[in-house]
A and B are shown apart, each in its own frame.
Chain A
Amino acid sequence: MQTILELKNIGYSYHSLHGETRALSNISFGVGEGEFIAIVGPSGCGKSTLLSIIAGLLPPEQGTIVVNNPDGSLAYPRIGYMLQRDHLFEWRTVYKNVILGLEINHMMTPDRLDTVERLLVDYGLDKFRDKRPSELSGGMKQRAALIRTLALDPQLLLLDEPFSALDYQTRLFVSADICRLIRAAGKTMIIITHDLSEAISLADRVIILSNRPATVKAQMPIHLTLKDNSPLASRNAPEFQQYFNQLWEDLNNDG
């Protein structure tokens, strides 16, 4: 697997008159093409800050991000960012919501709109295109948010606890569903989550961050023997419990 992005010694601090709060320190890891990475860590350890830096919304204070495109170009990969809530706008119809990114970037070209059209059909949202977001279920809203992100054809998807606003049962289905769709679209993904089971069932590799200032405590490649099945079924894989215990231990030891 080719590494498309490499974080080298990334550091970041928040500043206020009361002093400096170090959020990230010396974070280094690579992101392979088509890889699914889950980042777990204690709450408030700076996971979202890290994602904002990768997304280019925040410049890192220390360190660099090295771009390594397969075609040798130096362009930063196109990023798609999914926030904790779907943030579909109630004053727009579902269709107007999913083409928001295209509208902003003046990319309402026929083939982009065709892609959106295909995604709407594939994701079963075609019939709801003229509805308002409030008329959709939690899962459908997440799908609409995913189409909005995919419409811009990102290479790397960043998901910041995208399912945390959903109730547990919906969350199980939606997280499995969304990740299946992203895998099917052949994208690379970095997801932040609190939920260790979710991390193991969705990711190829789990990166464990320490308490603030966050450093990379451990990295754990996940190989489940049921990998071809859905993320829901993967929770029944024989190795699942073992990974879970290992992760739990890594998260909680202060060594």
Chain B
Amino acid sequence: MTVKKKKGPGHSSHELTKQEEFVRNHRRHHHQISTMRITIFVLFLILWEVSAYLGWIDSFFFASPSQVALCFLEQIKTNALLSHIGVTLFETIVSFLLVLLFSLLAATLLWYSQKMSEVLEPYLVVLNSLPKSALAPLFIVWLGTGTTTIIVAGISVAVFGSIISFYTGFQQVDSEKVTLIYTLGGSKRNAFTKVVLPGSVPILLSTAKVNIGLALVGVIIGEFLAARRGLGYLIIYGSQVFQLDMVITSIIILCIIALGFYKSIQMIEHHIRKKFKM
């Protein structure tokens, strides 16, 4: 948070107070960071374009920014790129929301029953460490090819880690605060709704940030194997017909989607933190 201090009326204009100097340095620092970020990006684009133009890299394999831009426009016209993007976005958001719902429910049950959490712990650990891409062929056999399979793949990547994070978050809530609820005559349910859940909001938010990325990973894996639509499908299709500019364009769109998801969750987080002053 930046603290702004108005200059007093008696202050001479070219002499900065320590506070103003601090604010100025703080802003300058942030300007420098953003400038450097943008510079790196622009330099990278220029280098890429020039290398392709001068034949340092083979533009058939590596494409170039101008090719990507052309490909982007062309795909919008011929292949309905926007609908592919829409499909991937939709599947990711549905997976993400279902992951949140399932893991919140599961972690709540584990919190309620110490015994159940002890019993299930090794199962969760194994399922969490299992590479979920290994399950994708099974999902295809069980569920066929289509949206359901892809959403299930997206869920499978994120859900176990998410349960573990939520449950750990619940357990980290100060046990004396839970005792406080009991001293006020509250039940275990009161302890959960009044202390454990609101006290875990920061962990819920940071886990959500990780989950949206993982859901995207799962959805792309699913689309590789079992889809006729979506960015994952475009990537696989493009590589099979050696249209590598299509692959690279899709990857760049994925980068933008990932960034967009992250930023939106960050905005929600910021909003919630501000509202509850956490």
A and B co-occur in one complex = yes
Q: Which residues of A contact B (CB under 8 A)?
A: 55, 57, 79-81, 83-85, 87, 89-91, 100-101, 103-105, 132, 134, 148, 152
Interface assignment of B9: CB less than 8 Å from any CB of chain A: no
Q: Which residues of B are found within 8 Å of A89, using beta-carbon distances?
A: 177, 194-195, 198-199
23 pairs from A and B in contact (CB 8 Å cutoff): A55-B183, A80-B183, A83-B176, A83-B179, A83-B180, A83-B183, A84-B176, A85-B176, A87-B177, A89-B195, A89-B199, A90-B276, A91-B199, A91-B201, A91-B278, A100-B184, A104-B181, A104-B185, A104-B186, A104-B190, A104-B194, A105-B185, A105-B186
Main secondary structure of the interface of B (DSSP, over half): helix
In the complex, A87 Cα to B176 Cα: how many Å? 8
B251 to chain A, nearest CB (A): 41
In the complex, A55 Cα to B174 Cα: how many Å? 20
B contact residues, range: 20 to 34
Interface assignment of B182: CB less than 8 Å from any CB of chain A: yes
Q: Which residues of B are found within 8 Å of A134, using beta-carbon distances?
A: 277
Q: Which residues of B are found within 8 Å of A132, using beta-carbon distances?
A: 277
In the complex, A40 Cα to B146 Cα: how many Å? 71
A100 to chain B, nearest CB (A): 6
Contact B176 A101 (CB under 8 A): no
- Kindly report which residue of chain B lies nearest to residue A131, judged by CB atoms: B277
Q: Which residues of B are found within 8 Å of A55, using beta-carbon distances?
A: 183
Q: Which residues of A are found within 8 Å of B278, using beta-carbon distances?
A: 90-91
Chain B positions 159 through 173: 1 when the CB is less than 8 Å from some CB of chain A, otherwise 0: 000000000000000
Given contacts A83-B179, A105-B185, contact A91 B276 (CB under 8 A): yes
- Kindly report which residue of chain A lies nearest to residue B184, judged by CB atoms: A101
Contact B180 A87 (CB under 8 A): yes
In the complex, A101 Cα to B184 Cα: how many Å? 5
Contact B176 A90 (CB under 8 A): no
In the complex, A7 Cα to B200 Cα: how many Å? 39
Contact B184 A104 (CB under 8 A): yes
In the complex, A84 Cα to B177 Cα: how many Å? 11
- Kindly report which residue of chain A lies nearest to residue B195, judged by CB atoms: A89
Given contacts A104-B190, A152-B184, contact A90 B277 (CB under 8 A): yes
A147 to chain B, nearest CB (A): 12
In the complex, A39 Cα to B190 Cα: how many Å? 31
Interface centre among B177, B179, B183 (most CB of A within 10 A): B183
Q: Which residues of A are found within 8 Å of B177, using beta-carbon distances?
A: 87, 89
In the complex, A120 Cα to B276 Cα: how many Å? 22
Which of A57, A100, A104 contacts B179 (CB under 8 A)? A57
Q: Which residues of B are found within 8 Å of A79, using beta-carbon distances?
A: 183
Contact B184 A105 (CB under 8 A): yes
A172 to chain B, nearest CB (A): 24
Contact B185 A152 (CB under 8 A): yes
Q: Which residues of B are found within 8 Å of A80, using beta-carbon distances?
A: 183
Contact B195 A57 (CB under 8 A): no
- Kindly report which residue of chain B lies nearest to residue A104, judged by CB atoms: B186
Q: Which residues of A are found within 8 Å of B186, using beta-carbon distances?
A: 104-105
- Kindly report which residue of chain A lies nearest to residue B181, judged by CB atoms: A104
